[in-house]
Chain A
Amino acid sequence: MATLSLRNLQKSYGRTAVIHGVSIDVADGEFIVIVGPSGCGKSTLLRMVAGLEAITAGDLFIGADRVNDREPMDRNIAMVFQNYALYPHMSVAENMGYALRIAGKPKAEIAARVAEAARMLQLEPYLARKPRELSGGQRQRVAMGRAIVRDPSVFLFDEPLSNLDAKLRVQMRLEIKGLQRKLGVTALYVTHDQVEAMTLADRMIVMNAGVAEQIGTPLEVYERPATVFAAQFIGSPAMNMLDGTGEGRQVRLANGVAVPVAVEAQGPVKLGLRPEHLTRDETGPLTMQLRMAEPLGANTLVHGTMEGVPGDVVASLPGVHREDDLPSVIRFSIPPEATHVFDAATERRI
């Protein structure tokens, strides 16, 4: 168990830079989720921490040691791969004990530690089986068991749940979180799924195009997104982003409607409105031409456009609303403190 520290970590292939300097100090036992769309460099960043990709510039510390130039095996980390990467010719027990076996640990100790991990993961009935005789969720558990048995300082997860079906994913997500808490081990977890990120993370790194757009707790990122990208990536359905002009404590949209905001804004801005914060209000400033309603049970997603404003707008209304029961034009209001204003040029929060 150890702290983990990334200091301006960079990666380039030849002249193409893919990671533009990521820094974060991870506390002992903290669960950090790296979230971003595919190709944003999140897996590369994880592999740099693992030692599977060379670090071009910057420093990586595990505990007090700078480990940039250490082999993966000398970093005291364990990694769970997306496709599990189990050794297909070994039984579950051999898979889990592999690291200890090649480290020359006594047989009794290996057996004890494998049994302990198997008990924790409910894998005891399967110890003699080969990976191909297991289901996806069981393979996932074996991969975690292999990591646990080594008692590493840092756990690395590379999209571990993306090969599982939706139901199993929720279950395994809870198991991973529970396990990490129980072991108290520092974890770095890569995913493109924002629900996984929100539920698992103590803090998350929102990555885009090799840049850490925002680092913070899930609620910080949700409530005060630092950039347009972070605002639209976290939250479902995605935040509405409208072009406008800042006029002090209000933003005037392209159709002339003024929306009160909580900050001083001047010049071209982007106004972010979360669908779930738009409330129906017959006197509200925003009007939407209804195009479609999607009742989800607990809430209803209402899709439409605002006259004179390019792009679609989504609102999430509590309860069930049938399309036929809704008026063709719906009026909304939004409290000023629920709005998000971004500089149009830098796309950063004002």
Chain B
Amino acid sequence: MDKRVTFKGLWLPLLLVAPQAVVTAVFFFYPAGQAIWQSLFIPDPFGLSMQFVGLGNFEYLLGNSYYRASFVTTAIFSVSVTLLSMGIALYLAVLADRLIKGSGTYRTLLIWPYAVAPAVAGVLWMFMFNTRIGVVSWYLGQLGYDWNHVLNGGEAMGLVVVASAWGRISYNFLFFLAGLQAIPKSVIEAAAIDGARFWTRFRTIVWPLLSPTTFFLLVVNVVYAFFETFGVIHTITAGGPQQSTTILVYKVYADGFVGQDLGSSAAQSVILLLVVGLLTVIQFKYIERKVHY
């Protein structure tokens, strides 16, 4: 069944691989190499000279309490975003899967948020929760709750988590729905006849059969939470208050482009690269084993 094309020469296969290889080289290997190179230096504030410090940047970072705090923040943030967006998406997909009439409309409506750019989504949520003019914060005020994510780190974290997860639900929903619809209806019916009620069916049949989808989404969502949530955080909290929403990728930006500490920023990029690489390897190595294909 496995159809493989065998090439006789060497040049044609190389040529066919070349576009992908070139793109990867120019946009990944070159910048990554630059980051590694720069992480070994401290430039002066005017960018006129660089001083070689070896692993000095890394030593400083790992001894820095703010940087270590950012690790914890990132962990809380990405776990929350992934669980929230995948959980809600799965719930909606299960409901949509049971729907017969109007499922097309429902699906289309649910997909819309995916078309909203993260920065725009961030602004949207920022306005809703603005401490002075926000609709939601006004209602919360009416209920006697004084919402202020500008001062309260917990509220700020909650807000960026919700805003980041929101835009992601559509994407996850699409995959979960497709995954659910790929499960043959007769298998579910057989389980129903075998005596499994809805929840038992979900736990013993649907969830295991859905696991390839879940696993794929887990990888993609963690990477999303690590990198692509920058726009949301930048527009809503800018990493504040008191760095309570400064995740690693935001700190790379804040230290490098705001604080002008390019060496430290480059070192952070390298660490981030290693962390995400490690996470992906762990996911593929350990979680994939439990996935039923």
> Are B187 and A72 within 8 A (Cβ)?
no
Query: B193–A83 contact, CB under 8 A?
Result: no
- Chain B proximity of A110: nearest CB distance (Å): 13
A262 within 8 A of B: no
Determine whether the beta carbon of B194 is less than 8 Å from that of A83: no
In the complex, B196 has a CB within 8 A of chain A: yes
Say yes or no for A103: interface residue by CB 8 A criterion: yes
Knowing A81-B186, A102-B200, the reply to whether A72 touches B192 (Cβ < 8 A) is yes
| A89 CB–B CB distance under 8 Å | yes
Per the bound structure, the CA–CA distance linking A86 and B189 in Å amounts to 11
Q: How near does chain B come to A199, taking the closest CB pair, in angstroms?
A: 25
> Which residue of chain A has the shortest Cβ distance to B205 in the bound complex?
A87
Interface size on A, residues (CB 8 A): 23
Interface string of B259-293 (1 = CB under 8 A from A): 00000000000000000000000000000000010
B102 interface residue (CB < 8 Å to A): no
Interface residues on chain B, size class: 10 to 19
Question: What chain A residues lie within 8 Å of B62 (beta carbons)?
Answer: none
Within 8 A of B (CB), among A25-79: 50-52, 71-73, 77-79
Q: How far is the CA of A102 from the CA of B191 in the complex (A)?
A: 10
Chain B residue at minimal CB-CB distance from A82: B186
* B47 vs chain A, min Cβ distance (A): 58
Which residues from chain A contact B197 at a C-beta distance below 8 Å? Answer: 73
Considering the chains assembled together, what is the distance between the CA atoms of A98 and B204 in angstroms? 9
User: Per-residue 0/1 for B184-216: is the Cβ within 8 Å of any A Cβ (1 yes, 0 no)?
Assistant: 101101111111110010001100110000000
Query: Within 8 Å of chain B (Cβ to Cβ): is A174?
Result: no
Residues of B within 8 A of A203 (CB): none
- Bound: A83/B186 CA distance, A: 8
Q: A52-B189, A85-B189 are in contact. Are A103 and B209 (CB under 8 A)?
A: no
With a cutoff of 8 Å between Cβ atoms, the chain A residues found around residue B192 in the complex are 52, 71-73
Q: Are B196 and A73 in contact (CB under 8 A)?
A: yes
Minimal beta-carbon separation of B3 from chain A (angstroms): 20
Contacts of A71 in B (CB 8 A): 192
Q: What CA separation (Å) do A82 and B184 show in the bound complex?
A: 12
Cβ–Cβ < 8 Å partners of A50 in chain B: 189, 193
> What 18 new A-B contacts, CB under 8 Å, besides A52-B192, A72-B192, A85-B187?
A50-B189, A51-B193, A71-B192, A73-B192, A82-B186, A83-B186, A85-B184, A85-B186, A85-B189, A86-B190, A87-B205, A89-B292, A98-B194, A99-B195, A102-B194, A102-B204, A146-B190, A146-B194
A-B contact pairs, 15 of them (CB 8 A): A50-B193, A52-B189, A73-B195, A81-B189, A82-B186, A83-B184, A85-B186, A85-B187, A87-B187, A87-B205, A88-B209, A88-B292, A98-B191, A98-B196, A102-B200
Query: Which residues of A are in contact with B by a Cβ distance under 8 Å?
Result: 50-52, 71-73, 77-79, 81-83, 85-89, 98-99, 102-103, 146, 150
The 10 closest A-B pairs by CB, nearest first: A85-B186, A99-B194, A89-B292, A73-B195, A85-B190, A72-B193, A81-B186, A89-B208, A85-B187, A72-B192
